[in-house]
Amino acid sequence: MIKKIFSLARYSFLTGVGILLGFVRELVVSSHFGLSKELDVYIAMGGFFLFLGPQVGNALEMVFISKTAQLDTAAKLTQRLMQGLRVMLVVDVAVVGILLSTASYLVAWIFPGFSEEQRELGVAFVAHLCLAIVFANLAGLIRASLNIMRRFSPGLIAGSIVSVFSIATVVVYGDRYGVRALLYGFICGHAAVLVLNTVMFLRFADFSYRGNKEQRSRLPSFWGPVFLVLLLEAFFQARSMTERGFASTLETGTVSAFFYASTLITLPVSLVVTPLSTVLYPRLAEAFAEDRRRGYSMLKRYGGGLFVFAVIIALIISVASEEIVKVVFLRGRFTPDDASRTAHILSIVSLNLPLLSVTRLIRYSLYSMSNYTAPCVAQVIGWLMMASAGMVLLPRYGIDGLAYSSVLACGSVGLALFASLHLSFLKYDGRQRVVETA
């Protein structure tokens, strides 16, 4: 137990460093660009990267871990990674080609509130982000292999590396290139993460399967589940892009204000939930594979504590939102009016925090039971809730309506995931009781 506590503390420390550097990055960005129309474009275009880069990488990582957590040799794990990387490169070429050819139409369709100048800038940003998309996809698959080997540190410091490069380019080249300097640093940071993950994996890789026919095995395919998880990520990103599309129709800076509010919400999630869930996922996958009741018990033990922790933090953020935003962001071109707008949004979307803190573990548990459909359905529900609530509440309540739409969407996803997991467990437990009685 003591060893586990110290291990988690180390990972929390690494995550904390990443959070600190992330805040420094946001401080540098906000002081240089404020809630400007150029920053609105950068954040909006970041949605394409999030889905086609980290979200695709995360989908591969989640399924890879659930399908390979019980592989007994490094050679088999290396073989599976090489198979995945070859397919991933082909997928990346196709994705980048489609994105480049349709970028102008997508930007105009998703962000109707942007001016022609903003749309042109957005298309240029998308073209540059294609590099970061490829880097993030490959790094995500390699990170999954490292996690199975219980090497979590490279994944936890990835955000720190991206932040350092982003800070450096904005400080050195921000006045010359504007928001493009942030974009260049972002791309270089993801390239550095890919290099680090590759070097770390090569330290533990075993390529002996290439020359040994007995070791070369036909491992079960995981691309079907990956497709389902990608659908999940697609609807998750559709929800986010729908929110940003609605925000683009409001006053300039609203997209950025929602982004900064979300950044503050993700602080406790990133500091506590991310390292805990990262460390727990391989153990959850093994526990659910052996006995679902054992896995469910582990989920309740950790998930309950996370939920209580998140409720307390959400109350603090809601009450002190104005002070928090002013302390963190009020400097440079980030004006008191910008702070007031961001704080008001923060006080509402902080209601998302309790469910955000446990949905990741619930989703991992469903993946561990090879249930990839339920999380996808939950994200569809969340997207539909975001779109319908936004169309109803935005015209009547403006920014408040959009913030409450975000809360309703997040809540519907969390409740749908919990209901799916509970029903799956009840069915399994009922069958086991029948077997035991017989």
Asked if 136 and 54 touch (Cβ cutoff 8 Å), the reply is: yes
**Chain centroid, CA 402 distance in Å:** 21
Contacts of residue 18, defined as CB under 8 A and 6 or more positions apart, other chains included, come to 156, 157, 158, 159, 160, 163, 270
The pLDDT confidence band at residue 408, using thresholds 50, 70 and 90, is very high
Structure tokens at 146: 């490292």
The pLDDT confidence band at residue 38, using thresholds 50, 70 and 90, is confident
Q: Which of 189, 133, 184, 182 is nearest to 161 (CA)?
A: 189
Which of 102-106, 300-304, 390-394 is predicted with the least confidence, judged by mean pLDDT? 300-304
Asked if 170 and 38 touch (Cβ cutoff 8 Å), the reply is: no
Rama region for 253: left / alpha / beta (φ>0; ψ in -120 to 50; rest): left
**% of residues, the chain, pLDDT over 90:** 8
| Mean local confidence (pLDDT), 399-408 | 91
Q: Which helix (H) or strand (E) holds 181?
A: helix 179-202
For residue 405, the model assigns a pLDDT of 93
> How many helical (H) and strand (E) elements, i.e. helices and strands, does the chain have?
17, 0
Q: Which residue has the tokens 């086991």?
A: 432
Rounded to two decimals, what is the model's pTM?
A: 0.63
CB atoms within 10 A of CB 167: 22
Asked if 78 and 160 touch (Cβ cutoff 8 Å), the reply is: no
Alpha carbons 127 and 103: distance in angstroms, whole number: 8
Of 38 and 154, the one with more pLDDT: 38
Amino acid, single-letter form, for residue 206: D
72 class by beta-carbon count within 10 Å (0-12 exposed, 13-18 middle, 19+ buried): exposed
The pLDDT confidence band at residue 98, using thresholds 50, 70 and 90, is confident
Q: What is the pLDDT of residues 341-359, one digit of tens each?
A: 889 899 998 888 888 888 8
| Mean local confidence (pLDDT), 38-49 | 81
pLDDT above 60: residue 306: yes
Of 396 and 54, the one with more pLDDT: 396
Q: Tally the C-alpha atoms within 13 A of residue 318's C-alpha that lie toward its C-beta.
A: 13
Q: Output the average pLDDT for the chain.
A: 79
Q: What is the pLDDT of residues 117-130, one digit of tens each?
A: 888 888 888 888 88
Q: What is the pLDDT of residues 363-400, one digit of tens each?
A: 888 877 777 788 888 888 998 999 999 999 998 888 89
For residue 6, the model assigns a pLDDT of 47
Sign of the Cα torsion 150, 153, 156, 162 reads negative
Alpha carbons 257 and 215: distance in angstroms, whole number: 54
Domain ranges across the chain: 2-429
Alpha carbons 438 and 435: distance in angstroms, whole number: 5
Q: What is the pLDDT of residues 317-335, one digit of tens each?
A: 888 888 888 887 777 778 8
Structure tokens at 286: 């093994």
Contacts of residue 144, defined as CB under 8 A and 6 or more positions apart, other chains included, come to 60, 61, 62, 64, 65, 68
| Mean local confidence (pLDDT), 154-168 | 84
Alpha carbons 19 and 328: distance in angstroms, whole number: 13
pLDDT above 50: residue 219: no
Asked if 216 and 209 touch (Cβ cutoff 8 Å), the reply is: yes
Which of 56-60, 82-86, 152-156, 394-398 is predicted with the least confidence, judged by mean pLDDT? 56-60
| Mean local confidence (pLDDT), 414-432 | 79
**Chain centroid, CA 403 distance in Å:** 20
Cα dihedral 177, 178, 179, 184, rounded to 10, equals 20
pLDDT above 50: residue 104: yes
**DSSP 3-state helix, strand, coil percentages of the chain (rounded to 5)?**
85, 0, 15
Alpha helices (H) along 254-398? 254-268, 274-290, 292-319, 321-329, 336-349, 353-368, 373-397
Structure tokens at 434: 């029948």
